[in-house]
Amino acid sequence: MRDSQHPVVERIEPEIEQMLRNYGYELVEVKFTGRRRGQTLTVIIDKPGGVDSNDCQYVAQRLSLLLDIIDPIESSYNLIVSSPGLDRPLVKREDFERFAHKRVRIKYVEKTGQRRTVEGELEGLHEEQVVLETPAEQICIAWEDIEAANLVYNWEEGT
């Protein structure tokens, strides 16, 4: 996947991931956005059985303490702790194996430089290629060409 992590995220992600693991949570994604005024640190978490608002509040309190100690952000910021939602982002290589046979949407850049979005059933990750089965064809997308990927919730089937 195209890696454009903010330096703050690069610095704190390992500590956040370890802390979450210690409390039984999985780190899905960390994002840092905004300018001097209005910066936001978003931490998306998950756990077996899903995450509710109590989990988010609990993790936010623990993260606040950790972030106060390591003090990675010079100015004020908002901390948001969230569940991945029904359209969970797929970020790590393991996600593309774990969610094989699920419906996904992938945004990527073709070798020609053209941006494209495709939707289909995820077959998995094979030799740095994400394999996607669409009604028309099987598509192989190079890992480094992917800009974003997420699950697509099927409202008819409830999955």
51 pLDDT more than 70: yes
Domain 93-151 adopts which CATH fold? Answer: SH3 type barrels. (2.30.30)
Q: How far apart are CA 24 and CA 119, in angstroms?
A: 32
d(CA 22, CA 16): 10
Domain edges within the chain: 7-82, 93-151
Alpha-carbon span 16 to 153, nearest angstrom: 28
The amino acid at residue 66 is: L
More confident residue, 62 or 38: 62
Q: Do domains 7-82 and 93-151 have the same CATH topology?
A: no
- pTM of the complete model beyond 0.95: no
**Residue 81: how many other CB atoms lie within 10 Å:** 23
Task: Give CA angle at 17 (16, 22), nearest 5°.
Answer: 100
pLDDT average, residue stretch 30-52: 92
Mean pLDDT, range 12-17, rounded to an integer: 95
Three-state secondary structure readout of 22-52 = HCCCEEEEEEEECCCCCEEEEEEEECCCCCC
- In the predicted model, is pLDDT for residue 14 greater than 70? yes
Cα–Cα distance between 144 and 116 in angstroms, integer? Answer: 14
Q: Residue 86 region, left (φ>0) first, then alpha (ψ -120 to 50), else beta?
A: alpha
State the DSSP string of 6-25.
Answer: -HHHHHHHHHHHHHHHHTT-
Q: 7-82 belongs to which homologous superfamily?
A: RimP-like superfamily, N-terminal (3.30.300.70)
Q: Check pLDDT > 70 for residue 4.
A: no
